[in-house]
Chain A
Amino acid sequence: MIDTPALEVHHLTKFFGRKPREALEQLRSGATRDELAPLGTAAVIDADFTVRQGEIFVVMGLSGSGKSTLIRMLNGLLEATDGGVTVMGEQIAGIPAKRLRQIRRRHVSMVFQHFALLPHRTVLENAAYGLEIQGVASAERRERAERILDRVGLGGWGDKMPAELSGGMQQRVGLARALAADTDILLMDEAFSALDPLIRREMQEQLVELQHELGKTIVFITHDLNEAMYLGDRIAVMRDGRIVQLGTAEEILTEPADDYVAQFVRDVDRARVLTAGNVMEAPRAVVVASAGPRAALRTMRDLQTSMVFVVGAGRRLLGVAHDRDVLRLVQRGERSLDRVISDDHPVVRAGEHLSELFESAVESQLPLAVVDDDGRLLGAVPRVTLLAALGNVSTDTGEPAAVETPATIPVDVITETLHRTAAMQVAAEVADAVRSDAAERSPA
């Protein structure tokens, strides 16, 4: 059951005009939208995709690209000229109006660009509108609507009229109305386009949060690529009625299907799309804690860097060690790195967007360590890489951008120290390595 796709769209076409059949035939034989212009408008041509349950599916396109027509066919507000839509396993083309209304009540609610609230009803009554139509009893729908209003941050506003609210708040009511209806699917038609940028950002974040919490399937229409990239698990880019590319944000950003998409992508705010995992580089200055100070110092000398990442068992990141501290350890003949491992360096998750990395990058000169959910070191993002990623300079040019933190101690000094201490250390170090190697394996 859980495997039923929320929406299946098969060769969906919508033609506005007098002779739809003729137009369809011409489309099938490869006519373009412009060639059909004398007959009418082919708003959507041969759209074909599946929306999985629980994903945010974004349809992105400029005005006139057919995205609004497309979304209105998903709940049968517009009838398809050709092709079909399946909602939660049920085909909706040509079914009786009554059955279609039932499907809308149970499965599909909608959020509108200009909110479309009932101006003569209170916020609470608006939020409860879907429930009212579903026939939910008055007391229960009031209670449920209040809960959702609280959730979207409008607790206590239920008695106001919509006109008393700001645009952002009105759209929260629109969202609450759709969420309160408790349908599986939410259609959002340019839902945030009429809001000013700050509010829009806030709403986008809240939507992602709500989606995680409630697990709704969302089809989101937008003309804003940044919004599409931020929200969409998958994005369909539409142009002149056709879907020209369908993929994840990263796919569209890194491998645009054609010049049109490429041109679009040029202006995108990459910091909100790319993640640390997308841009990180393989960390080279890494030592295993058990290898000891001499190995750490050698690594730093070879890489001409002043710090190394120290990892424990299973590449779990323990912290970083700095060359001065390690040098001191070596001079003193200590065999454990533990005392100098510091954890004051920035650590980020692989899934974090670049926009979230700047703060950490500013606070510390060290490359950002990228870890997975279990704290394993996956890679590093030096500041230069961060900048390169934003500037759309390819970061995988083969030659790794060997930008490590510059060494603070001259190479000669390190080499000399290593030599000087080698004699007395070598035996102990070998023994130590064997011992810790065994220790490392035993708990696993």
Chain B
Amino acid sequence: MNDFRLPLGEAAEAVIAVITEVLGGFFAVVRAVFAGLYDLVDLVLAAPPFWAIIVVIAVLGYAARGWRLAVGIVVGLLVIVGVGQWDNAMDSLALVLVASAIAIVIAIPIGVLAARSDVASKIIRPILDFMQTMPAFVYLIPALILFRVGVVPGIVATIVFAMAPGVRLTELGIRGVDREVVEAGHAFGSSPWRILRQVQLPLAMPSIMAGVNQVIMLSLSMVVIAGMVGAGGLGGEVVQSLTRIDVGLGFEAGLSVVILAIILDRITGALGARRRTSRSTRERSTDVPAPADPVAAPSSVPA
């Protein structure tokens, strides 16, 4: 072979250097905001006694799905307490919640944009592919340069890595809304913004909630990797056990990640499925006189 080589790596370095130079102040602000959010959530989760948090999460689980999930949550969280990973688990949970919340806030509008414009969709799709398939460690490098060691590069890398399904499923959900129903909105003189708010978003909600669920699950899988840049939490434990070849610690921290993942998945998954019927059941409970023919509640409304 000859000496020819595409200087893509140098280019990426140059870009990051310029960004650091020009947007340094901006990143300082972002860093402060993210760190502040994380500290706030972490305080809320870590300050109360563990049993109080367990009760709150169990109640959430009960509301979302029923007593079985509530029991499962209590057992699972007690296992985490039992292996001494409670504080780390709460740190990781805080990181996941902050990162997912930000990822969702960014992802949904982008998904809406992609659904409304074919051009935007064509531009956004390869970017999402890039974000999702690029090895997650790679994000850590510029994130480290821009945000220095700590929890913030972990959050940023998590957001980038986890955002894609949120965008994709939002776009899919909105494009999947019955065209005739959207047309009806137009035909009655509704504005596009109003159609989005009153028709498209509510009808796309099951798909959007599936996206939210995916974002949270991906965030959790990034937790371990974020541990490598000093984000601490369960990820930090896993990284530590790897460096020490400590099978026991690795298993305990890993199991805690799995338990958190299952709990988050079940709660958010149930929310997505419930949204479709919640309204009809609510309407019925406040129903004054029973109409002539009481029809049984539908198990689900066809989207």
Contacts and interface: CB of A to CB of B under 8 A. Distances in A.
Interface of A: 75, 77, 101-105, 108-110, 112-120, 122, 129-130, 133-134, 156-157, 159-161, 163-164, 177, 181, 187
A118 B291 contact: no
Contact of A116 (B180, B189, B276, B301): B180
A77 B280 contact: no
Interface residues of B, number: 29
A104 B301 contact: no
B109 to A, nearest CB: 21
A108 B194 CA distance: 19
Contacts, number: 84
B186 interface: yes
Nearest to A131: B188
Contacts of B298: 161, 163-164
Contacts of A103: 189
A398 to B, nearest CB: 52
B187 A118 contact: no
B188 A120 contact: no
B295 A104 contact: no
B291 A116 contact: no
A160 B188 contact: no
A243 B117 CA distance: 35
Contact of A159 (B198, B287, B301): B287
Nearest to A165: B295
Contacts of A112: 180, 183-184
Contacts of B188: 104-105, 109-110, 129-130, 133, 177, 181
B180 A113 contact: yes
B301 to A, nearest CB: 5
Given A101-B191, A102-B189, A109-B187, A120 B291 contact: no
B126 to A, nearest CB: 25
**Top 8 closest pairs, chain A to chain B, by CB:** A105-B189, A104-B189, A110-B187, A116-B184, A116-B180, A156-B291, A101-B189, A161-B280
B303 interface: yes
Contacts of B302: 119, 163
Given A101-B189, A161-B301, A110 B194 contact: no
B128 interface: no
Interface in B170-191: 178, 180-181, 183-184, 186-191
Interface in B269-287: 276, 279-280, 283-284, 287
B189 A159 contact: no
B235 to A, nearest CB: 40
Contacts of B291: 156-157, 159-160
B184 A119 contact: no
Nearest to A102: B189
